[in-house]
């Protein structure tokens, strides 16, 4: 996922290069150091970090499965009843009002004249 190469870190611009032997030794030192330190850090911290991340994602999954989804589904079930009542109220009171207002304003005609 994360690939860091020697050229990404030690970026000598074109036309400015160190001696060939120096560059090769620097490249080898960088590559070997990166490789072995990664292995050392993985050996020291890999298992504890895996344990921490495993616990974290287990808690996250548990909460999602046993708390979040049931709460959302419960909310949707409860809100469905309220939405039906709200819909009936809107259709009962607002629809006739807006229909009457629409009929009142439907006979208004506007004309635009351009004077020369």
| Nearest in space to 31 (alpha carbons), one of 49, 52, 6 | 6
Each domain of the chain, given as residue ranges in start order, spans 6-10+19-107
Answer whether 0.75 is exceeded by the pTM: no
H helix intervals, 64-93: 69-89
Measured distance CA(115)–CA(40) in Å, rounded: 88
Q: What is the pLDDT of residue 13?
A: 66
Using one digit for the tens of pLDDT, what is the confidence trace for 59-105?
999 999 999 999 999 999 989 989 999 999 999 999 999 999 999 99
Confidence band of 3 (pLDDT split at 50, 70, 90): confident
Confidence band of 55 (pLDDT split at 50, 70, 90): very high
């Amino acid at each position: 996922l994360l690939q860091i190469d020697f050229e990404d870190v030690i970026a000598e611009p074109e036309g400015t290069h160190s001696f060939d032997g120096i560059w090769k030794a620097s490249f080898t030192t960088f590559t070997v150091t990166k490789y072995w330190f990664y292995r050392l850090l993985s050996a020291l911290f890999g298992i504890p970090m895996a344990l921490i991340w495993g616990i974290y994602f287990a808690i996250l999954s548990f909460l999602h499965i046993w708390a979040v989804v049931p709460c959302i589904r419960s909310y949707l079930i409860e809100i469905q009843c309220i939405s039906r009542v709200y819909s009936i109220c809107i259709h009962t009171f607002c629809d006739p009002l807006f229909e009457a207002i629409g009929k009142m304003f439907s006979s208004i005609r506007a004309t635009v004249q351009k004077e020369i």
